[in-house]
Amino acid sequence: MTATPGMRDLVHRLLTYEAGAGKTSEPMESPALYVYEKLRQSLGESVGVAGFKSLATRALTLARQDLPCLSTARIAEDGSLQGLSEIETQIDVDKNQTGEGEIILIARLLGLLRTFLGEALTLSLLRNAWPDEAFDDRYSTDGRKA
């Protein structure tokens, strides 16, 4: 099973939001990495560092099924994502694929959250990290317009 289109849409939406936010502040190296970090901070508070690391490691394992070259990426003890920049260089031949590895990983992470907590609670947690975004009135995590 691959990352669902709905989850990927949701991740793209978060990336768009962060990219937009980046225009007014300092240039952002990777919006996807920024989204991942924001999730790490936000979820880490409630599930703990170890809890987030377990989820992220599982998400990475699942993401490798979609993108085998993620095999060199790893989740550090504090839950941060490492070893991705080399992979991105490798897969970003086409510039449209920028951040594909992170997108799949984040989509898998959100998919796991939905599996464990359900749609409503997953969106609630996202709302905590992105309070300005009204996720549930435009999207649901399985890709359907709400």
Partner 1 sequence: MSTQDKVKINKLPTGIPGLDEIVGGGLPEFSFNIIAGAPGSGKTTMAHQFVFANATPERPALYFTVLGESAIKMLRYQQQYTFFDPVKLPGSIRFINLSQVVLEKDLGAVLEEITKEVEKSNPAVVVVDSFRTMVRKPQSDMDLQSFIQRLALFLASWQATTFLIGEYAEDELRDNPIFTVADGLFWLRQAAERNSIVRKLQIIKLRGQDSVPGLHTFRITDAGVQAFSRTFGLTGHIKNPPSQRRISFGIAELDNMLGGGVREGDSVLVAGSSGTGKSVLATEFIAEGIREGEPGIVAVFEERPQAYAERAASLGMDLVTPQKDGKLTILYLRPLDLSVDETMHSILDAVQKIGAKRLVIDSLAGFEMALSPGFRADFRESLYRMIFALTGMGVTILSTVEVDESFTEFPFSTYSISFLCDDIIRLRYVSIDGQLRKIMVVIKMRGGNHAKDIREYEITSKGVVILGKRLTNYQGLISGIPTHLDRPEAAEESAREVKIEPGA
Question: Which residues sit at the interface with partner 1, rule CB under 8 A?
Answer: 44-51, 55, 116-118, 120-121, 124-125, 127-128
For the bound state, the minimum distance from the C-beta of residue 140 to partner 1, rounded and expressed in Å, comes to 14
Q: Whose Cβ is closer to partner 1: residue 90's or residue 128's?
A: 128
Instruction: List phi, psi (to 5°) of 70.
Output: -75, 0
For the bound state, the minimum distance from the C-beta of residue 135 to partner 1, rounded and expressed in Å, comes to 13
For the bound state, the minimum distance from the C-beta of residue 20 to partner 1, rounded and expressed in Å, comes to 23
Q: Whose Cβ is closer to partner 1: residue 50's or residue 86's?
A: 50
For the bound state, the minimum distance from the C-beta of residue 40 to partner 1, rounded and expressed in Å, comes to 13
The DSSP bridge partners found for residue 82 are: 74
At 81 the three-state DSSP class reads: strand
Q: How far does CA 128 lie from the centroid of its chain? A: 15
Q: Whose Cβ is closer to partner 1: residue 74's or residue 127's?
A: 127
Q: Whose Cβ is closer to partner 1: residue 34's or residue 52's?
A: 52
Instruction: Tell me how far apart the alpha carbons of residues 107 and 4 are, in angstroms, rounded to a whole number.
Output: 8
Q: Are 28 and 37 in contact (CB under 8 A)?
A: no
Where helices occur in 25-118 by DSSP H, the ranges are 31-66, 84-91, 100-117
